[in-house]
Amino acid sequence: MRIRKGDTVLMISGDEKGKRGKILKLFAKEKKAIVEGINFIHRHSKARRSGEQSRIIEKEAPVHLSNLSLICPKCGKHTKVGVKILKDKRKVRICKRCEEMIED
């Protein structure tokens, strides 16, 4: 998985192309993620009792990972993620633009 929870990503396709947000939740199996502020769905919540108001709930819906690109925290550009193996055999993600390490 190249994108992780807490990463800032850019929408690279779809209606909300160009928007950016933080990954709040990842669904690895479905290859989807909930991104803060992106892909809102509106749901009507009907009043069940009298006196209660019906309201519209806004909630982020999952976005497919193929619509997202990681924004490098170092150079601030959206980038492809590479993998580098450190001397201690630890695998880290790197930005393919500036080659800086991307912290988890």
- Contact with Zn ion (CB under 5 A) among 2, 4, 20, 74: 74
> How many helices, marked H, and strands, marked E, lie in the chain?
0, 11
Which of 69, 78, 75, 1 is closest to 38 using CA atoms? Answer: 69
Q: Could you say whether residue 64 binds Zn ion (CB under 5 A)?
A: no
Build a one-symbol-per-residue string for 3-42: x at contacts with Zn ion by CB under 5 A, - elsewhere.
----------------------------------------
Is residue 6 within 8 Å of 67, Cβ to Cβ? Answer: no
Binding residues (CB under 5 A) for Zn ion: these are 72, 74-75, 95, 97-98
